[in-house]
């Protein structure tokens, strides 16, 4: 039986689905893998952006509840996309996980991430996985 759309069930720009996660990852294979795993484990809709422009558009249209961002996106200097996310969307309101940033390993980088509102990064997880499979 098809679900009928009503005016109440159609999302308007800026409205979030009950729960959405935005993954910003330049590596297509890794992005698809993360998205699939998150959808399977959380049963939430996962949006995938492959660059900063696409990410900003998805943030404006969907307002996700969680953002996973690849801090090493091509063309992203010193977390510039993350700065943009904070300025335009208010990072304090959107929990953000930084994925795979060498910047996060340095004291200066960690300080910058905390100032921008991200207290979590997945660098250690990926480092551990790489060590285990090597």
pLDDT at 55: 85
Q: Whole-structure pTM over 0.85, yes or no? A: no
- Which pairs with CB-CB distance under 8 Å and at least 24 residues apart come from 103-108? 103/71, 103/78, 103/79, 104/71
Whole-angstrom distance, CA of residue 51 vs CA of residue 73:
7
Query: What structural domains does the chain harbor?
Result: 19-133 (3.40.50.2300)
Task: Report how far residue 96's alpha carbon sits from residue 130's, in angstroms, rounded to the nearest whole number.
Answer: 23
3-state secondary structure of 40: helix
pLDDT tens digits in sequence order for the chain, 134 residues long: 333 434 444 555 555 445 789 998 888 898 899 899 889 888 889 999 998 888 888 887 887 888 888 877 776 655 666 667 666 655 556 777 777 656 666 666 667 666 666 655 555 555 555 566 65
Residue 11 phi/psi, 5° resolution?
-75, 140
* Calpha distance 48→90 (Å, rounded): 20
């Amino acid at each position: 039986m098809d679900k009928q759309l009503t005016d109440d069930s159609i999302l308007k720009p800026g409205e979030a689905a009950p729960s959405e996660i935005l993954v910003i990852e330049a590596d297509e294979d890794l992005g698809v893998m993360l998205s699939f795993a998150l959808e399977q484990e959380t049963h939430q809709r996962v949006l995938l952006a492959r660059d900063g422009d696409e990410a900003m558009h998805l943030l404006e249209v969907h307002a996700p509840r969680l953002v996973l961002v690849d801090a090493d996106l091509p063309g992203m200097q010193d977390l510039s996309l993350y700065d943009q996310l904070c300025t335009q969307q208010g990072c304090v309101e959107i929990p953000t996980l930084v994925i795979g940033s060498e910047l996060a390993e340095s004291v200066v980088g960690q300080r910058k991430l905390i100032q921008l509102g991200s207290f979590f990064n997945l660098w250690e997880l990926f480092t551990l996985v790489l060590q285990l499979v090597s």
